[in-house]
């Protein structure tokens, strides 16, 4: 018997597990000889199965996971090369070693062309050569398979987003270009939906990147549920996702899918044990009407998304030609605001807060922007943009410091009053806000009891955790906290019970309708009762006439603010009013009451 124990294996480690080998051979003597050779090797174990007929062999190949096939090309049945081709079809990835009879090397070479990994010539092949050929075939195949897998993995990484597993920008652009070419040939439409999570930065800043990442995965899964299999979903980066709708038949199809996206994303989701509700804004661009190339379409869908955000978020918007101008204006505004911060063209006006019997008790600080091109810009215009871009942090810090310094100055002039400063949800969500307040108080020397922070209903109700903690810290400093625009945020009564605040400011919209709407009178009365019942102070905003003032007084609300008393004004003018023994409005009031 041939000694094959010293056969040099290509990879001893890989050869430790038995190698599953299919032997297709109809000559019992040849088969027995091969078995003997293969089973005599020490280092490698073979698990050999044998077929004597072509069809049987092919079936076994289809059914079983073989690592290598030894195929006799001179079987009685069928043509050897034809059988080889069929075997390649039956199991394309399994290496096949063709066995030819002596003197038939031409057939052997043809076999290599048809797809055999290697060949052996019966009777000429030494046992060692047989074993080595089999092992090399298996090993070469393993290397090629690993290489193919590595290439696949590399391709996957290059074309997919690692966080969500969605196609990335490059892969998406590729598909979009192909879809556009197809649509151009077939005169069909495709549509792009640019999806951007609203105030994502807020969550990332306040809850940390892990929660942010988790949220993006939730968004990705929900989008996948909405998008049809024939459409494509990708992530462009950050909180930007994009959907490609192929073959858009009806003009309202993109709107329908967008609405579905908004609906599914606004369902509550639980992250890290807390419940969140996020919304998104969607911009729609359609080929060919909104752009002929992938780049232009994406840019226009982005513009439309930007527009959806600027008109209130949680909505979709179709691209329109004049959006370029609008965005240019808005970018211009953002740059202008940055410059305003640097060049001190922001200013603070103060509006008196009065107790009808006692006179001025406080001042609300209201920021203004004196813009070289636009004139005086209202905070209602630039605060939302400052929140979106993060500029609210430096602006808010500046207003806080300016107002505190001002209050100290008034105090020095003998009129100590409280100053109220508006604080946006984004400021409150920042973990350093309480420190910022404490430092500002210390550095300006303002008594904390002379500072009130006005926060919105939504910031207390939506943000939970961090925000509530910040509010408590601020109150521990001795600072008052009031809920601004109260009544517009749909707070549940039960949520109010535990809110760590000192006062409510009844929103202007109630006060302005007191004259005309009896139901508003009922609601306002209830709001005042509610506040006093909870032990909170209550201020009415936007009081413009004596009728409103008298009604509020009669219901027990004595603190008010509004044009009836005074418009917001520069600090110097406010100081003059503070010094006037009887402010002009008090005079006017007393004459109108008489
Ligand atoms: P707000 O905090 O509710 O401030 C009251 C707004 O109502 C002010 O508008 C004020 O001028 C206006 N107002 C007061 N009395 C009357 C009245 O009798 N009738 C009418 N029609 N309006 C009255 P303003 O100054 O344009 O501020 C708008 C909003 O911008 C503020 O609403 C506040 O939410 C925000 N804001 C202002 N300054 C700041 C700031 O420094 N930081 C932040 N985060 N927001 C600010
Ligand atoms: Mg306010
Ligand atoms: Mg208000």
Show the ligand 1 pocket: residues with CB < 6 angstroms.
351, 366-367, 378-380, 383, 396, 399, 422-424, 454, 484-485, 508, 541-544, 561-563, 568
Token output for 348: 């603070």
Specify whether the CB–CB gap between 280 and 314 falls below 8 A. yes
Nearest to 244 by CA among 197, 183, 198, 186: 183
Angstrom distance (rounded) from CA 582 to CA 21: 107
Chain length of the chain:
594
Q: Identify the band that residue 12 occupies on the pLDDT scale cut at 50, 70 and 90.
A: very low
Nearest to 485 by CA among 515, 526, 460, 454: 454
Angstrom distance (rounded) from CA 264 to CA 258: 10
Angstrom distance (rounded) from CA 218 to CA 224: 10
Token output for 235: 């992530």
Q: Over pLDDT 90: what percentage of the chain?
A: 62
Q: Identify the band that residue 43 occupies on the pLDDT scale cut at 50, 70 and 90.
A: confident
Residue 495, pLDDT score: 67
**pLDDT mean across residues, the chain:** 89
Residue 492, pLDDT score: 58
- List pLDDT tens digits, range 521-547: 999 999 999 999 989 999 999 999 999
More confident residue, 102 or 69: 69
For the cut 80, the answer to whether the pLDDT of residue 577 exceeds it is yes
CA end-to-end distance (rounded Å), the chain? 130
* 392: three-class secondary structure by DSSP: helix
Specify whether the CB–CB gap between 87 and 58 falls below 8 A. yes
Number of other CB atoms surrounding residue 467 within 10 Å: 21
Residue to probe by mutation, ligand 1, list 337, 378, 383, most atoms within 8 Å of CB? 383
Q: In the predicted model, what is the mean pLDDT of residues 376-390?
A: 87
- List pLDDT tens digits, range 151-177: 999 999 999 999 999 999 999 999 999
Residue 15, pLDDT score: 47
For the cut 60, the answer to whether the pLDDT of residue 1 exceeds it is no
What is the β-pairing status of strands 190-197 and 280-287?
Answer: antiparallel
Specify whether the CB–CB gap between 287 and 180 falls below 8 A. yes
* 541: three-class secondary structure by DSSP: coil
Q: Per mean pLDDT, which of 137-146, 372-381, 532-541 is the most reliable?
A: 532-541
More confident residue, 403 or 269: 403
Using the CB atoms, write b or e for 294-330: b if 16+ within 10 Å.
beebbbbbbbbbbbbbbeebebbbbbeeebeeebeeb
Q: Identify the band that residue 5 occupies on the pLDDT scale cut at 50, 70 and 90.
A: very low
Secondary structure letter of residue 160 according to DSSP:
B
Residue nearest to atom 8 of ligand 1 (CA): 366
Specify whether the CB–CB gap between 179 and 244 falls below 8 A. yes
Secondary structure letter of residue 21 according to DSSP:
E
Q: Where are the alpha helices (DSSP H) in 17-53?
A: 28-39
Residue 466, pLDDT score: 67
Ligand 1 midpoint to CA 366 (Å):
6
Quick check: pTM over 0.75? no
Residue nearest to atom 17 of ligand 1 (CA): 542
Q: In the predicted model, what is the mean pLDDT of residues 65-73?
A: 93
For the cut 60, the answer to whether the pLDDT of residue 9 exceeds it is no
If phi over 0 gives left and psi between -120 and 50 gives alpha, with beta otherwise, what is residue 78? left
């Amino acid at each position: 018997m041939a000694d094959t124990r010293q056969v040099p294996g290509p990879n001893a480690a890989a050869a430790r597990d038995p190698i599953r080998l299919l032997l297709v051979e109809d000559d019992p003597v040849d088969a027995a000889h091969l078995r003997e050779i293969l089973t005599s090797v020490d280092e490698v174990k073979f698990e050999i199965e044998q077929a004597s007929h072509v069809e049987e062999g092919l079936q076994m190949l289809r059914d079983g996971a073989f690592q290598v096939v030894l195929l006799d090309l001179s079987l009685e049945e069928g043509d050897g090369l034809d059988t080889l081709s069929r075997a390649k079809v039956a199991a394309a990835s399994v290496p096949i070693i063709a066995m030819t009879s002596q003197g038939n090397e031409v057939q052997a070479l043809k076999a290599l062309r048809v797809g055999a990994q290697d060949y052996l010539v019966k009777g000429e092949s030494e046992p060692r050569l047989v074993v080595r050929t089999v092992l090399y075939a298996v090993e070469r195949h393993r290397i090629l398979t690993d290489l193919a897998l590595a290439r696949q993995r590399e391709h996957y990484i290059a074309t997919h987003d690692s966080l969500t597993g969605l196609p990335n920008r490059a892969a998406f652009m590729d598909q979009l270009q192909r879809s556009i070419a197809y649509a151009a040939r077939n005169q069909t439409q495709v549509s792009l939906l640019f999806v951007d999570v609203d105030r994502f930065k807020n969550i990332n800043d306040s809850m940390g990147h892990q929660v942010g990442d988790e949220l993006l995965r939730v968004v990705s899964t929900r989008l996948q549920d909405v998008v049809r299999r024939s459409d494509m979903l990708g992530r462009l980066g950050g909180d930007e996702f994009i959907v490609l709708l192929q073959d858009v038949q009806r003009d309202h199809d993109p709107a329908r899918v967008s609405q579905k996206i908004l609906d599914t994303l606004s369902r509550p989701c639980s992250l890290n044990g807390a419940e969140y509700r996020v919304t998104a804004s969607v911009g729609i661009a359609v080929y060919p009407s909104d752009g002929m190339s992938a780049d232009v379409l994406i840019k226009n869908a982005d513009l439309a998304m930007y527009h959806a955000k600027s008109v209130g978020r949680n909505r979709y918007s179709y691209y329109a030609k004049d959006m370029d101008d609008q965005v240019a204006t808005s970018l211009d505004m953002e740059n202008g605001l940055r410059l305003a911060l640097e060049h001190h063209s922001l200013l603070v006006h103060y509006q008196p807060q009065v107790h009808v019997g006692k006179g001025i008790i406080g001042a609300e600080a209201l920021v203004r922007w004196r813009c070289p091109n636009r004139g005086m810009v209202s905070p209602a215009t630039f605060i939302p943009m400052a929140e979106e871009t993060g500029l609210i942090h430096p602006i808010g810090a500046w207003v806080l410091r300016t107002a505190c310094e001002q209050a100290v100055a008034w105090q020095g002039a003998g009129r100590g009053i409280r100053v109220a400063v508006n604080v946006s949800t984004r400021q409150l969500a920042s973990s350093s806000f309480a420190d910022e307040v404490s430092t500002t108080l210390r550095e300006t020397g303002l008594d904390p009891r002379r500072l009130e922070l006005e926060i919105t209903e939504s910031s207390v109700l939506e943000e939970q955790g961090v925000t509530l903690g910040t509010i408590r810290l601020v109150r521990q400093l001795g600072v008052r906290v009031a809920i601004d625009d109260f009544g517009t945020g749909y707070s549940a009564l039960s949520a109010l019970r535990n809110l760590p605040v000192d006062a409510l400011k009844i929103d202007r919209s109630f006060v302005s309708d007191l004259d005309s709407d009896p139901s508003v009178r009922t609601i306002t009365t209830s709001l005042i009762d509610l506040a006093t019942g909870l032990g909170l102070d209550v201020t009415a905003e936007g009081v413009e006439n004596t009728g409103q003032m008298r009604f509020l007084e009669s219901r027990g609300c004595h603190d008010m603010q509004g044009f009836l008393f005074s418009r917001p004004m520069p600090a110097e003018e406010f100081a003059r009013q503070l010094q006037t023994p009887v402010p002009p409005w008090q005079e006017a009031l007393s004459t109108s009451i008489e």
